[in-house]
Chain A
Amino acid sequence: MRLSCHVNGERRCADGVRARESLLFVLRERMGLPGSKNACEQGECGSCTVYLDGVPVCACLVPAGQARDRQVVTVEGLGDDGGLDLVQEAFVEAGAVQCGFCTPGFVVAAHDLVRRGYAPTEEEIREALAGNLCRCTGYEKIIDAVKLAASRWWARSG
């Protein structure tokens, strides 16, 4: 089937999409957007987290056909004009990246928390990121990055 949807603000089409394909497969293999990572394929690790109509989801568990005419935002689409988003910058500055494989999923999940515009507690951060696994176990720096990003978001919007 032909799949047409909005990805990072642009109308995108993919032909020959099979019924069993996930949105993650289409993004990575058919649309040239490898930022969202393919790891567990069962929703355990969060590496493939994207926004679907503004809601964070595991792209590996979304049948591609469900994205028809809907809005998808991947980690590639968070920043403006090719620059880094505030959450991405905070991850760099806090040293929240080790091997980097889980980072895109963490960034999108963290973005969804940070954009709510308040200073989350550590418990709230851990709960918001409970669906993302870092195999390097670099969680402390990731939490630092989220705190940093939230404080900047607050300062910018306040």
Chain B
Amino acid sequence: MDYLQPASWAEALALRAQRPDAVPVAGGTDVMVGLNFDRHRPAALLDLSRLRELTGWERDGDHVRLGAAEPYTRIVQRLRDPLPALAQASRTVGSPQIRNRGSVGGNLGSASPAGDAHPPLLAAGATVEAASVRGTRLIPAAEFFTGVKANALAPDELIAAVRVPVARGPQRFAKIGTRNAMVIAVCSFAVALDLAGRRVGTGVGSAAPTPRRATAAEEFAAGELEAAGLWDSRGPLPGSLARRFGQLVADAASPVDDVRGTAAYRRHALSVIARRTLTWAWAELRKETSGCGCHAM
């Protein structure tokens, strides 16, 4: 096995083009598990850990451009305001040691159906910035996941960054697991209220071959809020709306029975966390409107 250690982003892209058989590695929290257990024997590792281009984040108009290898710890610390659901999800990743190394780029590269970053990226309408020696292209998160642990990257492409729209309303993430740390999601869900666009964004995790949006639930909720004038009045959220939203989210899933939970449990849990997250997000909106200024978590 070769160890490729590019010193610049240009060199990394050139190496990627020459060695499509190399496995990119940054924080190692997923790749190294496969190596330690001898599940994978890649021809080469492409070490991206020295590339400054992949760390940090910047505000770019109405987006945050988040470097692919920026660790979760810093997302939790610094991006709570512009990217609330992603920051909440990041806080549930692994443990402090894992969050110090793991990154959204790695999550996307692995493309596990259970990846914690995926539902918030879907709900917020993020795009993945894929780069190669041929240039850069933007892939919508909703088109990025192509199968179980498969993504839309070409063999010569690397994930440079993810572009996430700055929140235009409350967002919430919830995840089902057996404890508060070191949990692979049994199922997970993110909701993003877009007040300016009068839209509701969703992302469902660990309940289908890929992370996916629940588009029927999105359209239902946005339409009902519109019809009842709630986008303007910000009156109380009808319980029937939240329950139906939860059912539609559960309907969007196609879960399986596995060691972490049954399909039936996943569907039920999804309907509950979808209802709750929408209710919490709406409550936060009403608090903001009433001017108390607090951000209840």
Contact = CB atoms under 8 A, between A and B. Distances in A.
Interface of A: 1, 18-20, 22, 41-44, 46, 49, 55-58, 60-63, 65-66, 68, 109, 112, 127-128, 130-132
A42 B1 CA distance: 20
Given A1-B3, A20-B45, A130-B180, A63 B25 contact: yes
B3 A63 contact: yes
A63 B47 contact: yes
Nearest to A46: B97
A63 B45 contact: yes
Given A57-B97, A61-B29, A19 B45 contact: yes
Contacts of A58: 29, 97-98, 101
Contacts of A65: 3, 5, 45, 47
A42 B36 contact: yes
Given A56-B100, A66-B49, A22 B36 contact: yes
Interface of B: 1-3, 5, 25, 27-29, 31-33, 35-37, 41, 44-45, 47, 49-50, 94-98, 100-101, 180-182
A19 B96 contact: no
A39 B105 CA distance: 27
Nearest to A62: B28
Contacts of A49: 97
A130 B25 contact: no
A130 B182 contact: yes
Given A56-B97, A61-B28, A128-B96, 11 more contacts: A20-B1, A41-B37, A42-B37, A61-B36, A62-B32, A65-B3, A66-B47, A66-B50, A130-B181, A131-B95, A131-B181
Contacts of B95: 43, 46, 130-132
Q: Which of B32, B47, B101, B181 has the most chain A CB atoms closer than 10 A to its own CB?
A: B32
Given A20-B45, A58-B97, A61-B28, A41 B36 contact: yes
Contacts of B100: 55-57
B94 A131 contact: yes
B33 A61 contact: yes
